[in-house]
Amino acid sequence: MENREQIGKVWLDLSRYPGEDFYCDGAVEDEILEITRNYSEIEFQKIIEEKKSWPVLYHLSCQRENIVEFLPISKADRVLEVGSGCGAITGALSKKAGSVTCVDLSKKRSMINAYRHDECENVTIHVGNFKDIEPDLPADYTYICLIGVFEYGQSYIGGDKPFVEFLNILKKHLAPGGRIVIAIENKYGLKYFAGCMEDHLGTYFSGIENYASGGGVRTFSRQGLEAIFAECGVEKYHFYYPYPDYKFMTTVYSDKRLPGMGELTNNLRNFDRNRMLLFNEKNAFDGLVKDGLFPVFSNSYLIVLGEDIDVNYARYSNDRAKEYQIKTVICESESDGKEVRKYPLTDDAKEHVANLPAAYESLTKRYEGNGLKVNKCNLVETDSEFYAAFEFVQGHTLSELMDACLDKQDFDGFMKLFDKYLEYTGHNEDYPIADFDLVFSNILVHGDDWTLIDYEWTFGKAIAIKELAFRAVYCYLLEDEKRNCLPLDRILERLEITEKEAESYREQERDFQKFVTGKYLAMGELREIIGGEIYEPQRWLKSFQKEEDIFRVQVYEDLGNGYQEETSVFIPDAFKGDNEIEFTYQVSGNVQNLRIDPAFDACICKIKELTFNGEAVPVGARGVLCVNGKVMKGKDGISLVFPTKDPNINLNITKLQPKTDNSLYMKLEIVRVSVEMAEDMANAVKKIF
């Protein structure tokens, strides 16, 4: 048998190939082989959308390369890629490194790799079992990459301690100062608790249950990986956190730059299998971030064994049109500490990045004499690099501060921030320069300093501030359903936007998104057409829930320390028939706020009567009534729509002139509805957005 085979400029070394492939995904690999033989990489995205196939997406998407693209590999480096498969990351390594040596068990997959990278003269692919090939490999690799491979150590190596042995073998092939890079799922990744199947076995909770049912694959917790490193004598290692996971990473975090509240919103990214949706992952991540537990529950890990790299954070925007594909990096600068950089990911995107310093100059002139600062930008161009450099600014995003107000139901505080936003961003409104992407997350607040940190979409024309503010609110609402409690009537009143204007703004936003993404679909859109079903068990449980558990009225008192579950009470006999609630509740003078939960399901409530010490409660007055639903004002009163299974009505007792002893009387008409119907009604209230 011929020991070598050439495809284009790529050599396949077959000297250790056993003569047949022991690992194959079937006919789909033949399909992918034909694609790579007959089409160039620039055509892959179109084919992915046409095929609507998970394997085609997984093996051919350029976004797979993100997981290694941010690594500081240079032409002086020699890279060993173990388990190279169909070459999802080989191309990225080839562009960066001096040479790339691939090892893979499958000849067919290695041929796919070679055909898609047939112009890469620095790539060699060894076909066969790693244990057979390894003795012939040199000991001078500066990078050894195992992307989605380490978990198969038992199959590669065998023995009692396959993962320790695997790592020890790899260490022998490192040059002095070299690094081993491992990308692997976290067995305790939040997505598995939320209802995703284990990636390799296709079963629920396998990793969480410590692989009790067996199988040849093992993923690990962070602590489990650290135990392996310790047994191998590895002292220097650094964890990175690819998000949503390492397969289609859009953002990578590190211990030097962990995610903030509200950043982790793209959680429905499973394409290959159905999943359950047991809870809202975004809200769960926010809690983990707040409590410092994100590293424990990150969906995936990327670990650099060896010296650390200077990248603290990287975000990829490469599901856009070619001319707008960029990478945003926070890194360590030798002179000034941290620095933010924006790199073009394609030659077509260089002009987009090159325009950023001019945008900075123009926006600085527009906002001169105003309270809004613009983050300084310089263009850096060397023989090896081209990027726009920005100062690293400390602070909290405006969206974080607004969220904090909504969490406390401090709508006056929210409106103060919004009014300041309008004042600052609306300065010099007729100036023929505007940043179209003036969303709240692009403004950092540090004390009294407000800084615009991202102005990528700056255009040479004047844009009305109400148009920019409408878009900011529109995007803010879409990012998190918890923000549905936003007082939209006050926003609309402040912006003076008509329904006709709102429709034109919504249409403009749709056009802008297509302008950014070009003719191809973004990953979120691909999830809709390729991804599996999403099952919500809570909907099934509804059919088993007893009505007496739903139709109950619970009351909480706030004496200055917030609401406490243990001191709440249920009102006996509050339901007068199927659709009416009526009760009287005695309120002490120490109570500051009162919360009434009218039921334990989504519902619509009409306030028939509400009095405090015999006087009608002015529910329309500012700061008196607050609900976690939507308020609809009708000719004969107020109705409340609750698209939640935990509806609550909050009354600010301090605004009702309380006495030492007080009496609250409430009469409601209540109708139980589905969450979906309540959401539709609530959305109709905010339809202008």
How far is it, in rounded angstroms, from Cα 87 to Cα 116?
8
Name the β-bridge partners of 125. 12, 102
- Count the Cβ atoms, other than its own, within 10 Å of residue 620: 11
What is the per-residue pLDDT for 468?
96
What is the per-residue pLDDT for 688?
58
Average pLDDT estimate for 510-535: 89
Is the model's pLDDT at 598 over the cut of 80?
yes
pTM of this prediction?
A: 0.82
Average pLDDT estimate for 521-530: 88
Average pLDDT estimate for 561-570: 89
Strands 625-627 and 649-652 come out as: antiparallel
Alpha helix positions (H), 291-349: 294-297
Give the tokens for residue 597: 């939960």
Which residues lie below 8 Å from residue 16, measured CB to CB, with a gap of 6+?
Answer: 126, 127, 128, 129, 132, 133, 136
What is the per-residue pLDDT for 557?
95
Closest listed residue to residue 221, CA positions, set 183, 184, 186: 186
Mean per-residue pLDDT of the chain: 93
How far is it, in rounded angstroms, from Cα 376 to Cα 437?
17
Do residues 181 and 302 make contact, with C-beta atoms less than 8 angstroms apart? yes
Name the β-bridge partners of 241. 253
Give the tokens for residue 101: 């040596």
Amino acid at 430: D
Closest listed residue to residue 87, CA positions, set 44, 49, 46: 44
- Give 615's pLDDT tier (boundaries 50, 70, 90): very high
Give the tokens for residue 456: 């990528």
Do residues 607 and 619 make contact, with C-beta atoms less than 8 angstroms apart? yes
Of 19-23, 238-242, 332-336, 564-568, the range with the highest mean pLDDT is 238-242
Alpha-carbon Rg for the chain in angstroms: 29
Do residues 463 and 450 make contact, with C-beta atoms less than 8 angstroms apart? no
How far is it, in rounded angstroms, from Cα 255 to Cα 686?
39
Q: What percent of the chain has pLDDT over 90?
A: 77
Helix, strand or coil for residue 222? helix
What is the per-residue pLDDT for 171?
97
Buried b (16+ CB within 10 A) or exposed e, 385-423: eebbbbbbbebebbbbbbbebbeebebeebbebbeebbe
Is the model's pLDDT at 685 over the cut of 70?
no
Is the model's pLDDT at 1 over the cut of 70?
no
What is the per-residue pLDDT for 2?
63
Name the β-bridge partners of 337. 333
How far is it, in rounded angstroms, from Cα 102 to Cα 90?
8
> Positive or negative, the Cα torsion across 138, 139, 142, 144?
positive
- pLDDT per position as a tens digit, 289-347: 999 999 999 999 999 999 999 999 999 999 999 999 999 999 987 666 899 999 999 99
What is the per-residue pLDDT for 335?
62
Helix, strand or coil for residue 192? helix
Do residues 567 and 556 make contact, with C-beta atoms less than 8 angstroms apart? yes
**Strands, sheet with 569-570, edge to edge from the N-terminal-most edge strand:** 569-570, 554-558, 593-597, 649-652, 625-627
- Count the Cβ atoms, other than its own, within 10 Å of residue 279: 14
Do residues 344 and 352 make contact, with C-beta atoms less than 8 angstroms apart? yes
Do residues 530 and 57 make contact, with C-beta atoms less than 8 angstroms apart? yes
Is the model's pLDDT at 649 over the cut of 70?
yes
What is the per-residue pLDDT for 38?
96
Give the tokens for residue 585: 């509740």
- pLDDT per position as a tens digit, 187-241: 999 999 999 999 999 999 999 999 998 888 999 999 999 999 999 999 999 999 9
Closest listed residue to residue 409, CA positions, set 629, 665, 143: 629
How far is it, in rounded angstroms, from Cα 31 to Cα 46?
15
Burial class (CB in 10 A: 0-12, 13-18, 19+), 212: exposed
- Give 588's pLDDT tier (boundaries 50, 70, 90): very high
Give the tokens for residue 156: 């590669």
What is the per-residue pLDDT for 523?
87
Do residues 476 and 509 make contact, with C-beta atoms less than 8 angstroms apart? no
Do residues 630 and 484 make contact, with C-beta atoms less than 8 angstroms apart? yes
Amino acid at 443: I
Is the model's pLDDT at 607 over the cut of 80?
yes
Choose the weakest-confidence range: 99-113, 163-177, 355-369, 532-546.
532-546
How far is it, in rounded angstroms, from Cα 491 to Cα 219?
48
Task: Give 546 or 265, the one with higher predicted confidence.
Answer: 265
Domain assignments of the chain as residue spans, ordered by start: 1-137, 320-519, 547-685
- What would the CATH number be for the domain defined by 1-137? 3.40.50
